[in-house]
Amino acid sequence: MARRRFEEPGRETSIRPDRIGSLIGRIVQERLVRGFADPRIRGMVSVTRVDVAPDLRTAMIRISVLPDRYGPRTLSGLRSVTGLLRRVIRDETALRRVPELEFRLDDSLKRDAALDEAIRAGLADRGDDPRDDEAREDGEHSEIIDADGTRESPETSGRKRTFDETAGDGPEPSEEPS
């Protein structure tokens, strides 16, 4: 089999499926934002990932639906408008063959949130709260800058400064005429 001129030796995958997947994802997301007449497509629907097969015949579109209870119904609604979406993709791109679209619910966001919550719960059981550490680190080195450009530490903010404390900060107060 002859190798193409610009193909790297040893590279068996192409970036073309990734580029087409990105293009399809943008087009489908734009169409989702505009909405459909199908009442089954409800909630906040977003495209999280598009995987295109190396032969460019199928595209797996992973979607996230909030709230979760609308997920299965929205998925069936999207499967019914697949023909319309393929036509929109064909009209907006120069693809010779538009891939078959398959929709799947993406629960990776839910799993990530559950993992984050489990980590926070585990740290809270040990008595460690990473948010407290961040607040302490931020508080040690923070300064408050007023509108007039003067700097204050968190300890002095909120209390009124005396004339002696502001002596070097700006112009001297002028004397009022008697």
What does the alpha-carbon distance between residue 128 and residue 71 come to, in Å, rounded to a whole number? 36
> Which tokens in the block code for residue 153?
């530490």
Q: Which residue has the higher pLDDT, 164 or 75?
A: 75
Q: In the chain, what percentage of residues exceed pLDDT 70? A: 65
First to last CA, the chain: 102
10-67: per-residue pLDDT in tens? Answer: 556 789 999 999 999 999 999 999 988 888 998 889 999 999 999 999 999 999 998 8
Q: What domains are there in the chain, each with its CATH number? A: 16-109 (3.30.300.20)
pLDDT-derived band at 75 (thresholds 50, 70, 90) equals very high
Q: pLDDT grade, residue 99 (50/70/90)?
A: very high
Structure-model confidence comparison of residues 150 and 70, the more confident one: 70
Which pLDDT score is estimated for 1? Answer: 46
**pLDDT at residue 123, rounded to an integer:** 85
Residues 6 or more apart whose Cβ sits within 8 Å of residue 39: 77
Phi, psi values for residue 129, rounded to 5°? -125, 110
Q: Which two tokens stand for residue 32?
A: 């989702």
Q: pTM for the complete prediction?
A: 0.59
- Residue 156 confidence (pLDDT) above 60: no
Distances (CA, A) of 149 to 68, 153, 157, 161, 171: 49, 13, 14, 15, 13
